[in-house]
Structure 1
Amino acid sequence: MIRYYIKIAWRSLIKRKFYSVLNISGLAIAIACSLFLYLYISFHLSFDTYHVKSSTTYRVVNELLLEETLYEKGGSMAMYKALKRGLSRVTDAALMLDSYSFTVTVNNGSKTEKRFKEDRNVALVSPEWFKMFSYSWIAGNPAQLNAPNTVSITRKQAIKYFGNVNPIGKTIVFDNRQPVKVVGLIDDKPGNTDLKAGMYVSLSSLKNLYPDISNDFFTDWGWINSTTSIYLSITDKKSKREVESAIADLAKVHMGGNSKYYKFRLQPLADVHFDSQYGGATQKPLLITLTIIGILILIIASVNYINLSIAQQAKRSIEIGMRKVLGGTSKQLFIQFMTETLLTNCLAMLIAVGLVVLVLPSANQFLFAQEPLLLISYNGISIFLGILFILLITLSGFYPAFVLSKINVFKDLKNETQSLKAGFLRKILVVIQNSVAQTLIICTLIMVLQVRFLKHTDMGFNRNAVVLIPLPDSAELKKDFLRKKLEAMPHVQTFSFCFKSPSSENDRGGSVHFDNRPDWETWPARSAIGDTSYVKSFGLQIIAGRNIRESKTTHEYLINEKMVYKLGLKDPDDVIGKPLIAGELDEQKGIIVGVVKDFNTKSLIKPVEPVLIASFPDLFSTLAVKLKGQDLQEAISGIRKSWEEIYPQEVFDYQFLDDQIANLYRKEDLQQKVILLAASVAIIISCLGLLGLVSLVTLQRTKEIGIRKVLGASVTSIITLLSKDFIKLIFIAITIASPLSWFFMNKWLQNFAYRIEVQWWVFALAAILAVMIALITISFQAIKAALANPVKSLRME
């Protein structure tokens, strides 16, 4: 019997090829899009969940409780040592010092040495690290990393350095001075991890790698920074509050009165990837939004199927009536129609999976380049597709099968159907699916405008044709020689030795003490470190006082307008000559010599912050060069040549400042692209449904069109006749979508300190696009009907 139902269902699909193709295409596109969204969502939800102890592993983070709370993901070496000595409920404590950059020299057996610039790919880890986190060891073991000057590397890193040669026992030289022995080979980590170092150096090597490091780094609890990550493994989740309380008690002992400014808490490992306050790469609200979009796209595709199935009711009513006269029951008819739905969804599912397999590599290259999607779990995908299959059959098949199987037999044979009721339902469904599509169109337009606004709005400093070059530790010895070379280059306008660019995510911040006031200020100030050319190189504007001068005996500070305001003063001249102590800069006392116009130190998602500019040569780690002329690559080549002459053992690396700034908005860029993709899919599915409905309506009104043409109706009037009802529905959908999208996007825009005002023309443009797309879709069939021979039309029954 099942074979009979499948056979009849297949014949029915073949008989109505055009509508079958529309239904299968719409469902396949919707399933493929939903599968992409599932891969994206499940990929991000799986971050670092593969570690055996992931459910009881926490990262120590802290909140600096000033006027504005600062969120710090790091701890201090002294804190790690105290926690390691033992707290009840803490089973393990591990430390990672990450985000370090080195020049790595290797000799893989060839005559010449090879050098590599490793930026944020090297981590120093404590011996407990590999007990807490799951790694697959190909050679060696974690115990060998207890010794100083040892390193374990991943398979990818080993191939990069040594090719197919066994790396165990090989020597790697860091920064041309410190040899380190390879004692372990680790299998490459999966993509779903935030612990992405390719080299793990023993923590006991720290003093050798950084011989000038201060002793306070090892003993002072207050030496907290974002590169020092402390992870704890606790007995169970219920112990979290108890451990947090114990850390707070330790802080009071070791930090004294300063402990009142710090709130230490434990962040679950599963939340590390999502907490944007501590630098999380993704936000859970985005995943929720994408889930809703995936569901809406499936609903649109299901609405298409329902609409086309019910619209064919008139054509199939005689077939249904004949089956009932010949003894067919409503139950048998229901099973028959559900079998058709089952077969349609099976074909759509197969096509969708094929589409995803074909498109995934390209999607990873162009859409998810930062974090390529992986097929994490085939079992998970199978379960998702199974659930999706059941939902689609229920959504798209149950109602049409129920309606068609219940048609009155006498009306069926007379071809009299409940057209009014069916027609009203079709209109509602058309409005629903077009409302969803147009809401996505409007949201996409607003996102594109906002991201464009962020990327092109003036940040208060010059960012064009500025190249950033990381400086080696040996730069200070030959800095004057490099300076003379740069001054002689025709393509170099100006340059500055500094810590980072004004917009760097690696800025420094802390409280300040102004003009011998009794207390420190209760708000944080960002520190921009650079030489006397810093202001000129980045185009900062001094509005009061003068520029800083470099001196080995005294310190001078520039501050911005925002900091003047936060100090409770109105006139920038009032701060000139006043003393200032910068807490972040080892509480160095200096004199304020000038005020600069406000500039942004972070992305425009956040407002302007108080900033001080000072010259601390020991902290210089970047060379910023402002280029001139049209041929920037020629200028880069000239700098590279001089660099290789001065630092023959260092790797030349660079990044343009505008690229660094664009990278600040990578989350918003991805969000915009994903929503645009979803909107495009929704539009395509809606158009397929509209095309099918217009085709059916045209078929039902063939004789009417023929009579109108005989009576002198023009092609334009026929097109208007067939399209006007649908255009009315499109306008109703626009009326619904506009306030909905305005509400959602206004809430989204509240996340940005700098944002666009949503203008009326955005909704007008969306409406014009929707109507144009609908007209193009409708005209495809309407013109065909209008140009048909009226004699043939009048012969049709």
Structure 2
Amino acid sequence: MLIHIKAGLRRFVKNRTISLISISGLTLGLSIVIILASYIHYQSSFDHFHSNSDRTYKVISKFYDPKGKLSSYGISFGTLADEYLANFEQVETATRYYRQVGELEVGLERFNQVQIGYSDYSFFDVFDFGYSQKRQFARPDQAILSKKFAKILFGDESAIGREVRFKDVTYLVSDVINVPLNSQFQFDIVIPLASMPDYRSLVHQSGLEFHTYVLLERNADHQQTLDLLANHYNESLDSRWQGYAGDSFLISLKELHMKSGDITNSLSAGNLQALKVIGVLGLFILILAAINYVNFQIAGAQSREKEIGLRKVVGASRNQLALQIVIESIVVVALAGGLALGLLEVIAQMIDPELIAPELFSLEHWTLSYFLLFGLLVVTTGFLAGIYPAIYLSRSITLHKSLSKTKHRMHPAILSLVVAQFLISSLLMVSIVIMHVQLQFMKDMPKGFDQERVLLVNNFDLVKNYDVIKYELGKLAGIEQICLAQAAPGGGTSGQFFKVKSAPDHEQITVNHVRVIDNYINTFDLKLVSGRDYDYDLQSDRKNFILNESAYKKIGSPDLGTQVYMGGRVGEIIGVMKDYNFESLHHGVSPLVLTFENLHGKVLALKLKEDNLKQTIGTIESVIQNYDPAYVIDYQFMDDQFTSTYKNELRAEKITTYAAFVTILLSVLGVLALSVFLINTRSKEVAIRKVVGASFTDLFLVLGSKIILWILFGSVVAIPLAGYAMSNWLSSFHYRIELWDHLLWIAPAVLTAIVTFSLLSIINKLIRACIINPVEFLKEE
């Protein structure tokens, strides 16, 4: 065995150029496979680490409204957890969770965009997070911090016993816990639900508000219990909402992340389809890297013919020769594996952290089982990559063949792989361009509101004296419009039931709801098709409503002034807005209602002028700090919301781009293998053609035409496949490009790029083959 390993290393050093090219492909392929496999494991293991994860379930609210529209929500009624505990002995415990983003105060310092988790005391009976001292979360004034956030607040000092303030309530830090990345609960701090000022009204009077989880008894029949719990909730939903038909269910905690993509208000949402695509990409990359090595082995077969022929003469059996070649393959793949681990950290740092967190790939977090699995992958890949060359070389080469001048033909394995490589590369390139065109189309598409130069100040909850601040800001030359609202268009909405007051309950509809304080329509340049805007100085307008066209038509297009009912309030319709896209372009425009009322979770929106934006933002912060010295500005421009709204699409585009880049590199290596084999087998033919007067151009076409032909064949086949795949992807968007019209320019562009890139990679070898001295190849004839 050691002799074979030494022989493999000697051969690697002897054929440095070919060896380095093949090992480079293997190294790159293995490193990318590790990254993709780590990402798949991360996405598919959400909350598996909880000790009770196999018997924990979440309630999903699913129902049909009176118009037959189906909706699914990850939140449910606030009383449901107590009902389950009171009525079902199969339930060991049930707990609620409520998420907010807010500002936290520590001493005189303020921290914004803090992820707040309100929960029942039983939360840590269900989700342990390695937390054992549960009695330390048993009072309304206690809080638990994540380790990451505790470090931000207190540095290396202990956080236990320190005080923090949220919404004028002081909490004592009772513990600090680790929150893994693969958990849906990405909180900075957890505080008791009982400490919420409007806790009881929110629980007993609101609709869908809470994430509800149940922990079943160990000996309970899970499926039977889940059916009973779902039926109970559906009956409660049907009786509370007349005309609505409940079809709710409970889903396992281990499956929750991957099955939450179509569920509104999920704490996290994976994409099982995307994960399957990533898995296939990883498999393709590994296969292409391994078969590239095979191609180089076959392409370099001529250099081993005499060695193998002579070894057969002196008594080496086919099995011995095959074993040597397989061991050589494992040695090469092992070297590539070692380099891949070294390259892993470098590649991880180059990846956008919004796409994949770099710490997922740190070898510091690898357990012994990870290293053993990687070792198994390396050995398996090396064995599979070496088995075909071993059979081909040990069986097909004899001493007679090695000494004869027989003509070698192009091996079909090389041709088929080159076709497959460029088919995959072209498919990915076409997909990337289509994704980019669709995303750009959505970004540029008129949405019915003005998002240019609109600054959103997010942390405005604790700011007092808004009227005075607004007056001071209004005097600044760089500001055109100011408004305060629950959210800007595209920044989220609430949900409500809405109907004409005189209509029966079964005619109520589900609407999106945005609460505004002032000047919303003017700031975002929304268009009124009838009626008027709110008079923000008129107290009676606080009970009235402004609808978009979709909501107005869905309730029957009543006259302006008609009384309507929503969420316990009765008022008049005073205006109708032109429809605008306040949601993702995956969907059409839904019914929307604006109300004029005070609210929690305020966003300050300011429409700025073009000049001196940086200076204007600094002045805005200074004005607010005059009235709130602890204020720290946290802002974004409204057009930056595109990134957060279409995070999954942008992530898919980036991952596909990385995969396409790697497959193109591997495809180029395949072309190198093809060119090496082709030039080696046709050298004498080229020499004879030169003797009889063939020009450089003739020789170049003779050698290059076949390579380009097979590249084009693989690429052309990819076009309809990519079109079919992307038509399915585009079908999820309500607003989308005309695919086949765009393919008319995308396909030629991709083909041109592929051929150009391939020619550039082998042009040096083709030129050298065309300028050979014919005497060197004909002197022995």
TM-score by length of 2: 0.92
The verdict on how the C-alpha distance between 1:472 and 1:441 changes in structure 2, with shifts beyond 3 A counting, is: closer
Query: Which residue matches 2:539?
Result: 552
User: How do 1:382-781 and structure 2 match up within 5 A?
Assistant: 382-407=371-396, 409=398, 411-415=400-404, 419-420=408-409, 423-470=411-458, 472-473=460-461, 475=463, 478-505=465-492, 507-514=493-500, 516-521=502-507, 523-550=509-536, 551-554=538-541, 555-569=543-557, 575-582=559-566, 586-618=567-599, 621-758=602-739, 759=742, 760-781=744-765
The verdict on how the C-alpha distance between 1:522 and 1:424 changes in structure 2, with shifts beyond 3 A counting, is: farther
The Cα offsets for residues 603-644 of structure 1, whole Å up to 9 and x where unpaired, read as 112221111222122457121111112322211111111101
Taking only the aligned residue pairs, the percentage that are identical comes to 26
Is 2:261 the partner of 1:276? yes
The Cα offsets for residues 188-236 of structure 1, whole Å up to 9 and x where unpaired, read as 3222212111212123322xxx2xx27432323x5322xx222111135
For residues 185 and 597 of structure 1, what CA distance do their matches in structure 2 show? 51
Contact 2:96 2:212 in 1 (8 A): yes
For residues 284 and 519 of structure 1, what CA distance do their matches in structure 2 show? 38
Query: Which residue matches 2:124?
Result: 130
Contact 1:513 1:521 in 2 (8 A): yes
The DSSP-based 3-state class of the residue aligned with 1:593 is strand
Query: Which residue matches 1:53?
Result: 52
Provide structure 1 residue ranges, at least 5 long, that are not aligned to the other structure.
Answer: 108-112
- Measure how far apart 1:21 and its partner are: 1.6
Which of 153, 158, 165 pairs up with 2:150?
158
- Measure how far apart 1:261 and its partner are: 3.6
Query: Which residue matches 1:378?
Result: 367
Query: Which residue matches 1:340?
Result: 328
The verdict on how the C-alpha distance between 1:322 and 1:78 changes in structure 2, with shifts beyond 3 A counting, is: same
For residues 392 and 417 of structure 1, what CA distance do their matches in structure 2 show? 33
- Measure how far apart 1:679 and its partner are: 0.6
Is 2:188 the partner of 1:203? no
| Structure 1 residue identity aligned to 2:106 | V
For residues 581 and 418 of structure 1, what CA distance do their matches in structure 2 show? 88
Contact 2:548 2:578 in 1 (8 A): yes
Is 2:84 the partner of 1:83? yes
- Measure how far apart 1:740 and its partner are: 1.2
User: How do 1:182-197 and structure 2 match up within 5 A?
Assistant: 182=173, 184-197=174-187
| Structure 2 residue identity aligned to 1:536 | N
User: How do 1:36-435 and structure 2 match up within 5 A?
Assistant: 36-66=35-65, 67-102=68-103, 104-107=104-107, 113-119=108-114, 121-137=115-131, 141-175=133-167, 177-182=168-173, 184-206=174-196, 210=197, 213=198, 215-220=200-205, 222-225=206-209, 228-235=210-217, 238-246=221-229, 248-249=231-232, 252=235, 256-258=239-241, 260-274=244-258, 275-278=260-263, 279=266, 280-363=268-351, 365=353, 367-368=355-356, 377-407=366-396, 409=398, 411-415=400-404, 419-420=408-409, 423-435=411-423
- Runs of 4+ with >6 A deviation: none
For residues 716 and 94 of structure 2, what CA distance do their matches in structure 1 show? 58
- Measure how far apart 1:59 and its partner are: 1.5
The verdict on how the C-alpha distance between 1:255 and 1:478 changes in structure 2, with shifts beyond 3 A counting, is: farther
| Structure 2 residue identity aligned to 1:533 | N
The verdict on how the C-alpha distance between 1:666 and 1:253 changes in structure 2, with shifts beyond 3 A counting, is: closer
For residues 337 and 372 of structure 1, what CA distance do their matches in structure 2 show? 36
| Structure 2 residue identity aligned to 1:73 | G
For residues 728 and 326 of structure 1, what CA distance do their matches in structure 2 show? 43
Name which of structure 1's ranges 617-626 and 197-206 shifts more when overlaid on structure 2.
Answer: 617-626
The verdict on how the C-alpha distance between 1:83 and 1:199 changes in structure 2, with shifts beyond 3 A counting, is: same
- Measure how far apart 1:463 and its partner are: 1.0
The verdict on how the C-alpha distance between 1:197 and 1:385 changes in structure 2, with shifts beyond 3 A counting, is: same
- Measure how far apart 1:418 and its partner are: 8.1
The DSSP-based 3-state class of the residue aligned with 2:333 is helix
The Cα offsets for residues 37-81 of structure 1, whole Å up to 9 and x where unpaired, read as 011111111221111001111112201321322222112332222
Contact 1:603 1:661 in 2 (8 A): no
For residues 788 and 613 of structure 1, what CA distance do their matches in structure 2 show? 79
The Cα offsets for residues 225-284 of structure 1, whole Å up to 9 and x where unpaired, read as 2xx222111135842442442353366468735275433321211233221123333201
| Structure 2 residue identity aligned to 1:698 | I
Contact 1:22 1:692 in 2 (8 A): no
- Measure how far apart 1:794 and its partner are: 4.2
The verdict on how the C-alpha distance between 1:349 and 1:593 changes in structure 2, with shifts beyond 3 A counting, is: same
The Cα offsets for residues 340-369 of structure 1, whole Å up to 9 and x where unpaired, read as 211221111111111113322332647425
TM-score by length of 1: 0.91
Provide structure 2 residue ranges, at least 5 long, that are not aligned to the other structure.
Answer: none
How large is the Cα RMSD of the aligned pairs?
2.6
The Cα offsets for residues 5-34 of structure 1, whole Å up to 9 and x where unpaired, read as 223222322332222122211111111111
- Measure how far apart 1:429 and its partner are: 2.1
- Measure how far apart 1:472 and its partner are: 4.4
- Measure how far apart 1:674 and its partner are: 0.8
The verdict on how the C-alpha distance between 1:258 and 1:563 changes in structure 2, with shifts beyond 3 A counting, is: closer
For residues 78 and 185 of structure 2, what CA distance do their matches in structure 1 show? 19
Q: Aligned residue pairs: how many?
A: 767
The Cα offsets for residues 402-429 of structure 1, whole Å up to 9 and x where unpaired, read as 1211126364244366844x53332222
Contact 2:546 2:593 in 1 (8 A): yes
For residues 371 and 344 of structure 1, what CA distance do their matches in structure 2 show? 28
The Cα offsets for residues 467-522 of structure 1, whole Å up to 9 and x where unpaired, read as 122364555x62221221122111110011211111113x1123321262234436
The DSSP-based 3-state class of the residue aligned with 1:85 is helix
The Cα offsets for residues 654-686 of structure 1, whole Å up to 9 and x where unpaired, read as 222112232111111111111111111111011
Contact 1:442 1:762 in 2 (8 A): yes
The verdict on how the C-alpha distance between 1:444 and 1:243 changes in structure 2, with shifts beyond 3 A counting, is: same
For residues 474 and 126 of structure 2, what CA distance do their matches in structure 1 show? 52
Contact 2:428 2:656 in 1 (8 A): yes
- Measure how far apart 1:465 and its partner are: 1.2
Query: Which residue matches 1:110?
Result: none
Name which of structure 1's ranges 290-299 and 6-15 shifts more when overlaid on structure 2.
Answer: 6-15
Name which of structure 1's ranges 739-748 and 83-92 shifts more when overlaid on structure 2.
Answer: 83-92
Name which of structure 1's ranges 555-564 and 30-39 shifts more when overlaid on structure 2.
Answer: 555-564
The DSSP-based 3-state class of the residue aligned with 1:444 is helix
Contact 2:109 2:630 in 1 (8 A): no
The verdict on how the C-alpha distance between 1:418 and 1:700 changes in structure 2, with shifts beyond 3 A counting, is: closer
For residues 491 and 370 of structure 1, what CA distance do their matches in structure 2 show? 40
- Measure how far apart 1:530 and its partner are: 1.7
